[in-house]
Amino acid sequence: MAVGHERVITEIEKHARQARTGDEAKMRQSIAAIRALCDLLLDGEEQPAAPAPRAIPLAASPAPQPVLTEKKLKEDGANGDSLFEF
């Protein structure tokens, strides 16, 4: 859910008032909140300008690989078709 620019600016103004009236610790907290709200506004503006993913043309698809036939080894003492034939 997107937050409107006016709502964010109103919150920035509220924190600016708190920064002016509070002590040092509250002022730092309010300024940090203002920074976060500014980042929220700036990131919201940059998001639609993100490049769209490129499509791969169909003509550039790789040639199909040939299927290799499997030759079974015949050894004395083997366990048959097991993967663990030693």
What is the crossing angle of helices 24-46 and 5-21, to 10°? 160
Which of 45, 40, 51, 43 is CA-nearest to residue 9?
Answer: 40
Contact 11, 30 (CB under 8 A): no
pLDDT in tens, 15-58: 999 999 878 888 999 999 999 999 988 886 655 545 556 665 55
pTM of the model: 0.49
